[in-house]
Amino acid sequence: MDINDVPQEDSSTYAKNKKAIYAKSENGEISIVGSTGWNVEETATKLALEDLESSAHEAYCEVKKGIKSPLFYYMFKERMDLQLLAETSGFFKWTISRDFKPEVFKKISDKRLSVYAEVLGITIENLKVLEDINYECN
């Protein structure tokens, strides 16, 4: 790629940062150029972000309806899934799935709650209740 072809497309996903790309300058030397973004990359990143966002949204509504515990929503909100939560908490998947049930979640120990809170980076108090955000639920 030539230096003049390095995309400068102000990708929103770069949040005003620049990324280092290697390209060929006029004298033939390949070196670093800062890029403000590339639409192609932005499309791929946004698709992944939208998928995470929609998982969190769906989970939010299920918690609101009382089908799932707040843990289920916060897992997606913190960009995790069951596999990642199992790896980071050290709990078995099936025991985590059980904690997704509101009636089980109400009774879990503070010790177990504190592990979840730690890996999700929120407080135990916050983990216990569904936060109030403007998600539309059908």
Partner 1 sequence: MNVTEFKHSHSAHCESGVMVSLLRHYGLNLSEPMIFGLSSALTFAYLPFIKIGGMPLVAYRNLPKSIIKNIQKNLKIKMKLETFSSKEKGEARLDELLSEGKVTGAQTSVYWLPYFPPEMRFHFNAHNLVIYAKESDNYLISDPVFEHSVKSDKASLSKARFAKGMMAPKGLLYYPTFVPQNIDLQPIIIKTMKKTAKAMLNTPVPISGLKAIKYLAKSILKLESKDEKYAKLYLGHIVRMQEEIGTGGAGFRYIYASFLQESSTLFNNDSTLQEASTMMLEVGDKWREFALLIAKAIKSKKPIDFTSISNMLMSISDEEAKVYTKMLEFTGK
Per CB under 8 A, residues contacting partner 1 are 1, 6, 12-15, 17-24, 29-32, 34, 38-41, 43-45, 47-49, 51, 78-81, 83-84, 87-90, 119, 121
The distance of closest approach from Cβ of residue 119 to partner 1 in the complex, given in angstroms and rounded to an integer, is 6
Which is closer to partner 1, CB of 44 or CB of 137? Answer: 44
Which is closer to partner 1, CB of 23 or CB of 61? Answer: 23
Measured CA to CA, the distance from residue 75 to residue 6 in angstroms comes to 37
The distance of closest approach from Cβ of residue 19 to partner 1 in the complex, given in angstroms and rounded to an integer, is 7
Which is closer to partner 1, CB of 57 or CB of 64? Answer: 57
Q: 72-77: long-range contacts (C-beta < 8 A, 24 or more apart)?
A: 72/100, 73/130, 74/116, 74/120, 74/122, 74/126, 74/127, 75/120, 76/52
24: Cβ contacts below 8 Å, ≥ 6 apart? 1, 2, 3, 30
The distance of closest approach from Cβ of residue 49 to partner 1 in the complex, given in angstroms and rounded to an integer, is 6
